[in-house]
Amino acid sequence: MADINYRELEKHILSASGKQDLDEKTAMLIRTYCLGTVCLSCEWILGKYRATPEELAEVYKTALPPTLRELVTTEK
């Protein structure tokens, strides 16, 4: 799941930025974010947190590092 999320976020950022490859720091930020959100999703599914899917989505949005947020919202 983390790998799928990573590839999709990478694809989106590369498309939005017009770049061919990610720099190492950006790749690590994406990987860290994806691993964290997958872990939280698993804990949520197992009942550790009581949140609606919308509340969980808001947490993911808030947790996105500012550097990645800028890249995700950048349009060519």
Q: State residue 46 phi and psi, 5-degree precision.
A: -80, 0
Specify the pLDDT at position 74. Answer: 60
For the chain, the domain total comes to 1
- pTM, entire model: 0.84
> What is the residue-level pLDDT of the chain in tens, covering all 76 positions?
999 999 999 999 999 888 899 999 999 999 999 999 999 999 999 999 999 999 999 999 999 989 888 888 765 4
- Alpha-carbon gap, residue 26 to 44, rounded angstroms: 27
Q: What's residue 67's pLDDT?
A: 87
What is the domain extent for residue 42? Answer: 2-73
